[in-house]
Amino acid sequence: MLVLTSVLSSIVVGYFGYRSGTQALEDSTRSRLQDVLDERASRVSALINNVSGGVVLDSQGVGPESMADFSSAYNQLARGTVNPADTAALTRYYNDYYAPRLQENVGGEINAEAFIPTSPARTYLQARYTVKATTETDTSRPVSDVDDAGDGSAWSAANKKWNPYWRAVRDSLGLDDVMMIDTEGRIVYSADKGTDLGSDVDTGELRDGALESLWREALRSNNRDYVAISDYESYQPAFGRPRMFVASPIGTGGDATGVLVYEVSSNAITMLTTGSGRADKVTGLGETGESYIVGTDGLLRTNSRELLTDPKAFAEQMRDNGASEETLDKMLRMKLAVGLLSAGPDVSEVAKQGDTGVAEMTDYAGHQVLAAYEPLDVEGLDWSLVATIETEEALAPVQGFARNVLLATAAVILLVCAISILLARVFTRPVGRLMNGVRAVAGGDLGTQVDAGSRDEFGDLATAFNDLSSNLAAKQELVDAQQAENSRILRSLMPEAVADRYQHGETTISAEHQNASVVYTEIDGFDAFAGKRPAEESLAMLKELSAGFDAAAHRAGIEKVRSVGTGYIGSSGLIVQRVDHVRRVADFAVDVARMVERFNVTNGADLVLRAGVHTGDVRGGLVGQGDMVYNLWGEAVDLAYRVRTVDGEPGIYVTDEVKEQLASAYDFEQVGTIEESPVWRVVLS
């Protein structure tokens, strides 16, 4: 009766609670999404309006005087001649720095020669500012805060006077650049000193673009308060990345002396729409949320979060949605979606109509999202701001609420049973913890600890178990450390492959090796040199030589047989078959000779190297009972040992067989014979 009453009561209360609760949660989610949208829209509108207001104020304030100084100075440079040294510096800059980065973004083949300045003023300015003061920013654009190139020109004097002010304007408004364009279309000043410094928007390389259009509009406006704004488009001096320009005339009507231009990157707007100050992190919209700007053409004006955070998944989604490979490749190269990525049919339609609302729709990646949208209050730009969050995440609180109602109902039904089960578990929990600990130790997880829990007998047993587990772990660490040390020592006494076989239980190891090479090296003079020094210093030098032997062996890829004092025996083609074993042992011997020379220079020593190399049949194996040593014997080993001293002088000596195989690699001179066969010494340069 209690269970039945509880079930009926829970169902009735849960039904009405579910109805009212889900509706309230849905309304709250939509309201929160709209609030985020309004806040982001306000930020974007404020930024663009601040930039617009700033360009008007500066064009009427310091603009006329600044324009006069730069225009006059630029005209002086324009009447000059091109310095061949400047052209050479710019040629290197455009070939080595500018063209590769532009090609990386836009793809295709870039002809750097087409961008190299030819006019005197542009060549002069870029050689002294763009090239000499170039660094890389997060957008890989050249940027210079140099106020004076120290060339004594009138332009540098004007830059020293005005550049700090315009740089402060650029930084305070978060701009990419501040430019001034004279009435002839020449960019007579740029705060960033990029490749657009000195360019011509009327007849030069920047014609037919947004910058030219704004320049003409501003000059024709005949209005001191006129502001012209361009939409984002690819800007070649920014390595093909999109830029927006805000311009205002300096002067009015027939008195206009030029145009002041503020350059805004897409990244600046993107960071506002994300709400986090970062282009790749969105705040206030959960795990799947995103806010972005869309133009009436349906293309994004800010970057895509998915493109920045997971380019591979983004590419797969775009291919599934039918995106062209050319456009996708460009987005992935630049990690930029501005002006390239379509917002999708649903979002594009509301942006085109300039609608406001909240609705479920499909976004650019094919996700089902809950989207809030509204047009931006920016004169001259037909943009809409969209804030989205995947429907599943947006409605997760509703689903969670329904789940909680069901769980609450079930909890009432099972309450009585749960109480009895919990009481039983209270008594068995300590035993369960101990059993889990025992299983962990049995599985190899030594050192496992369990919670003692209480101070009764179970607690004492848990404490004893923890002590046992800790002791086992400590002993295992000692065993592992000893095994590692034994393995290291063993590998220092014999080749690694032989050491592995010995560790696996083989005690009788021998083999015959055909066509292997052996090198005997010995450094003379160390005892006399080191005998005059303290034991610690002598030991350090001996370790340095030993380390040099091992490093040379590693570089040449030869196998160490053994080393004694300043002597070293190595082989190639013995354990690991190699077709170039002769060359390897010779390279090793030459490398050791260089090492000895460096040691002499560093330590003021006069050590010399004697080395012998021969190739042929070799036998090797473990020798000894208590102390196992790997040894080599055979004719090749004997000759390699004997040729070292055939001339009585230090050097690297090889038999005739070795010389024949190395004739093209080293120079040799004959120094004697052994068993009627010539012996050759390697001539070191």
Angle between helix 535-556 and 581-603 (nearest 10): 150
pLDDT at 158 over 50: yes
Burial of 215 (0-12, 13-18, 19+ CB in 10 A): buried
DSSP symbol at 347: H
DSSP symbol at 342: B
pLDDT of residue 114: 85
| Domains by residue range for the chain, with CATH | 47-265 (3.30.450.20), 269-396 (3.30.450.20), 495-683 (3.30.70.1230)
pLDDT of residue 140: 43
Supply 451's token pair: 């919670």
Q: What percentage of the chain reaches a pLDDT higher than 90?
A: 18
Alpha carbon 489 to chain centroid distance? 40
C-alpha dihedral sign at 440, 442, 447, 451: positive
Asked which of 340-354, 377-391, 492-506, 586-600 is least confident by mean pLDDT, the reply is 492-506
CA distance 234 to 216: 19
CA distance 80 to 72: 13
Instruction: pLDDT band for 506, please (50, 70, 90 cuts).
Output: low
For the segment 495-510, the average pLDDT, to the nearest whole number, is: 63
pLDDT tens readout for residues 595-622: 999 999 998 888 999 999 999 888 766 6
Instruction: pLDDT band for 157, please (50, 70, 90 cuts).
Output: very high
Q: Answer whether 214's CB lies under 8 Å from 259's CB.
A: yes
Alpha-helical regions (H) of 287-395: 305-309, 311-320, 325-334, 345-353, 391-394
Q: How far is CA 333 from CA 33, 314, 620, in A?
A: 32, 13, 57
pLDDT at 33 over 70: yes
pLDDT of residue 493: 53
pLDDT of residue 625: 55
pLDDT tens readout for residues 260-303: 999 998 888 888 888 877 777 888 888 888 888 898 888 988 88
pLDDT of residue 634: 75
For the segment 137-146, the average pLDDT, to the nearest whole number, is: 50
pLDDT of residue 638: 84
Instruction: pLDDT band for 629, please (50, 70, 90 cuts).
Output: low
pLDDT tens readout for residues 193-235: 888 899 999 988 888 888 999 999 988 887 888 899 998 888 9
Q: What 3-state class would DSSP assign to 245?
A: strand
pLDDT tens readout for residues 48-105: 889 988 999 998 889 899 999 999 999 999 998 999 998 999 999 999 888 888 888 8
Q: What percentage of the chain reaches a pLDDT higher than 70?
A: 86
pLDDT at 463 over 80: no
pLDDT at 684 over 60: yes
Q: What mean pLDDT, rounded, does the chain reach?
A: 82
pLDDT at 569 over 80: yes
Q: How far is CA 485 from CA 481, 488, 622, 678, in A?
A: 6, 5, 20, 45
pLDDT of residue 161: 94
pLDDT of residue 652: 92
pLDDT tens readout for residues 358-405: 888 888 888 888 888 899 888 888 889 898 888 888 777 766 766 776
pLDDT of residue 685: 72
Instruction: pLDDT band for 187, please (50, 70, 90 cuts).
Output: very high
Q: What 3-state class would DSSP assign to 652?
A: strand
First and final C-alpha spacing in the chain: 105
Report which listed range, 63-67, 444-448, 622-626, is most confident: 63-67
C-alpha dihedral sign at 352, 357, 361, 362: positive
Q: How would you write 481-517 as a 3-class SS string?
A: HHHHHHHHHHHHHCCHHHHHHHHCCCCCCEEEEEEEE
Report which listed range, 145-154, 181-190, 248-257, 523-532, is most confident: 181-190
pLDDT at 256 over 90: no
CA distance 212 to 232: 14
pLDDT of residue 488: 60
pLDDT tens readout for residues 651-668: 999 998 898 888 788 889
pLDDT at 623 over 70: no
pLDDT of residue 166: 93
Instruction: pLDDT band for 417, please (50, 70, 90 cuts).
Output: low
For the segment 441-450, the average pLDDT, to the nearest whole number, is: 76
pLDDT of residue 580: 87
